[in-house]
Amino acid sequence: MTRAILGASLLLVLAACGHTENPGPAPLDLATVDWAEAVVPGDLCLTPQPVQLHDGTATVVDEQWGNLIYGLGDRRPTYGDLTGDGLEEAGIDVYCVPEGAGGSAVISRGFLIFDGSSGVYRSIGAITAVHPRVPGLAQPFVESIEIEPGRITAHEKFFAESDPSCCPGNDAVTTWTFDGTSLTHGPAAVG
């Protein structure tokens, strides 16, 4: 009986102090994640399986392409509060290219978006180029992103026939919206 009274008293004291339940795990500061050694979704490199990066790259095998190199791009992570919860989400620049091929053979390049509010990083989705590929030319790609509450602005690069294979000279901007569970995009605006 005494233990029950002590337990009830403790609960009353905690409730009076504003402590009514366990708050769960602390959010993960995504700026502390070692992305070069992270497990990331494989979707941008033609595999439905998660991919473990080592020193920023991994080899993925595809039936059509053979060995593919999946890795971190040149850009530093982009941070912003996409979900509106006061915590920053991260956009990680990644690419997929056939092993031994040059930069103009990129299959895809975009940004993986992560949330850390649950105490671990988890994928929200991927931002990829929306502008259509010009037949016979290299794949358009997302060069940079801006993250704001409820949306991501993607700055895309695409090739025209007059561009050298190394260097796309055309720009498009696509706005992606976040509805609380998934990302969807509007049309790519050229300019």
Q: Measured between alpha carbons, how far is 107 from 140 in angstroms, rounded to an integer?
A: 9
- Strands 108-115 and 122-127 come out as antiparallel
pLDDT tens, residue by residue, 86-120: 999 999 999 999 998 866 688 899 999 999 999 99
Q: What is the pLDDT of residue 191?
A: 75
Residue 17 forms part of a structural domain: no
pLDDT digits (tens, 9 = 90+) for 147-172: 999 999 999 998 888 888 778 888 89
- pLDDT tens sequence across 13-30: 444 444 456 677 899 999
pLDDT band at 139 (very low <50, low <70, confident <90, very high): confident
In a domain, 9, yes or no: no
Asked, for residue 14, whether it belongs to a domain, the answer is: no
User: What pLDDT score does 21 carry?
Assistant: 63
Classify residue 134: in a domain, yes or no.
Answer: yes
The count of structural domains within the chain is 1
Residue at 142 is within a domain = yes
Q: State pTM to two decimals.
A: 0.85
Residue given tokens 């990129």 in the structure block: 106
In a domain, 4, yes or no: no
Range of the domain at 34: 24-190
**Cα–Cα distance for residue pair 100/157, rounded to 1 Å:** 23
For residue 114, tell me if it sits in a domain.
Answer: yes
Residue 11 lies in a domain: no
Tokens of 33: 């994640």
**CA-CA distances (angstroms) from residue 168 to 38, 71, 83, 129, 165?**
30, 21, 32, 13, 7
**Greater model confidence, 11 or 53:** 53
Q: Report which of residues 8 and 144 the model is more confident about.
A: 144
Place of tokens 């941070």: 79
Mean pLDDT of the residues in the chain: 87
